[in-house]
């Protein structure tokens, strides 16, 4: 993923490449796509709390951490509870990291909670409690990578950055590259394409970033694209090619039942509910297989999600 801003002149060569691969584009700057997609977004975008003006940059940042590999429906209740408890980074920074893990609930991938807590502490220490505007400053925060820095700069501050999540990558793969799915990992070619398609106008670029993401989430979905609802279906390279089946490496599928992830989740669930340290015997009861259970608990300790205490007791981390 990338978020490096580029000027219109810097994208000319890449845009010409895109135009050749996508002949329906009306001009090299991609206006043949921008208008239909952003107009569709204006009419069909979901009313999500992190898109409202009152969310602010902190609300956008919290949402971006929570939405990684997690559907909106699961994020919404946790997001609202989180912002009610910690409306500013400073509010979260004053709490123990374990409280962030506790409030994360069952969103999954709980290390995100620790990273968000670390980012809040850094925002308080380095930026006076305000989420920074500059991409480089965002990228320097703990737990913030290229995608999150670009997303916050774009969605919170209306800046011009290429925001490449799974949904956007899928839209570009189909509409421009003519493939059913993007590669399993983001490639340099995808970053180049995203920069080439990025509108020159800053405000339009921010809307484009949100609109392409929403289009992938609601219409150009992984399993059941609804081409009849797509504002660029008549221009889509994949559809025009007859919607050819995926020919690349097998798509990665996530499993959960019986995995270490499931065991970790069960262990954390006990610790989140506890108000005092939990003895080993209580944790032993959550999973029948002792080797896997021990491996999962050791992993939680190594990740900083669980703090071991004397006497074989465990708790969520205080520092």
Task: Specify the pLDDT at position 45.
Answer: 97
Higher pLDDT, 156 or 248: 156
Token pair recorded at residue 305: 């999600």
Identified catalytic residue from 16, 43, 54, 64: 64
CA-nearest of 236, 151, 204, 153 to 31 is 204
Token pair recorded at residue 261: 């992830």
CATH 1.10.1670.10 fits 162-245, yes or no: yes
pLDDT digits (tens, 9 = 90+) for 151-174: 999 999 999 999 999 999 999 999
Q: Is residue 251 pLDDT above 80, yes or no?
A: no
Q: Is 16 a catalytic residue?
A: no
Q: Give the chain's mean pLDDT.
A: 90
Phi and psi (nearest 5°) for 88? Answer: -135, 160
What CATH architecture applies to the domain 45-159? Orthogonal Bundle (1.10)
Task: Specify the pLDDT at position 249.
Answer: 76
Domain with CATH 1.10.340.30 in the chain: 45-159
Q: What would the mean pLDDT of 275-288 be, rounded to a whole number?
A: 96
The topology under which CATH files domain 260-315 is Arc Repressor Mutant, subunit A (1.10.10)
Task: Specify the pLDDT at position 5.
Answer: 40
pTM: 0.86
Helix (H, G, I), strand (E, B) or coil at 157: helix
Domain with CATH 1.10.1670.10 in the chain: 162-245
Confidence band, pLDDT 50/70/90 cuts, at residue 247: confident
Task: Specify the pLDDT at position 176.
Answer: 93
pLDDT digits (tens, 9 = 90+) for 214-246: 999 999 999 999 999 999 999 999 999 999 998
pLDDT digits (tens, 9 = 90+) for 84-113: 999 999 999 999 999 999 999 999 999 999
Sheet containing 278-279: give its strands across.
278-279, 313-315, 307-309
Task: Specify the pLDDT at position 25.
Answer: 34
Is 131:65 a contact under the CB 8 Å cutoff? no
């Amino acid at each position: 993923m990338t978020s490096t801003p580029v000027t219109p002149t810097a994208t000319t060569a890449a845009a010409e490449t895109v135009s050749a691969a996508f002949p329906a584009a009306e001009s090299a700057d991609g206006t043949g796509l921008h208008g239909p997609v952003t107009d569709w977004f204006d009419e069909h975008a979901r009313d999500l709390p992190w898109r409202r003006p009152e969310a602010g940059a902190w609300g956008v940042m919290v949402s971006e951490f929570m939405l990684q590999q997690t559907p909106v429906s699961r994020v919404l209740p946790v997001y609202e509870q989180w912002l009610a408890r910690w409306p500013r980074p400073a509010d979260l920074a004053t709490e123990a990291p374990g409280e962030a893990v506790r409030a994360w609930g069952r969103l999954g991938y709980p290390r995100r909670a620790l990273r968000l807590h670390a980012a809040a502490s850094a925002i308080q220490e380095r930026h006076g409690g305000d989420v920074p505007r500059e991409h480089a400053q965002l990228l320097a925060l703990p737990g913030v990578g290229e995608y999150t820095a670009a997303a916050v700069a774009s969605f919170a501050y209306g800046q011009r950055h290429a925001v490449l999540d799974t949904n956007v990558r899928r839209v570009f793969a189909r509409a421009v590259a003519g493939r059913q799915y993007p590669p399993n990992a983001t490639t340099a070619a995808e970053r180049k394409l995203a920069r080439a398609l990025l509108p020159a106008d800053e405000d339009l670029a921010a809307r484009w970033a949100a609109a392409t993401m929403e289009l992938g989430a609601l219409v150009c979905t992984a399993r059941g694209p609804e081409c009849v609802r797509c504002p660029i279906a008549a221009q889509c390279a994949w559809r025009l090619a007859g919607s050819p089946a995926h020919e690349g490496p097998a798509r990665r599928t996530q499993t959960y039942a019986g995995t270490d992830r499931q065991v970790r989740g069960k262990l954390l669930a006990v610790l989140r509910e506890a108000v005092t340290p939990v003895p080993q015997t209580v944790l032993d009861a959550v999973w029948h297989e002792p080797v896997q259970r021990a491996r999962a608990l050791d992993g939680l300790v190594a990740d900083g999600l669980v703090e071991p205490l004397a006497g074989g007791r465990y708790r969520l981390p205080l520092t």
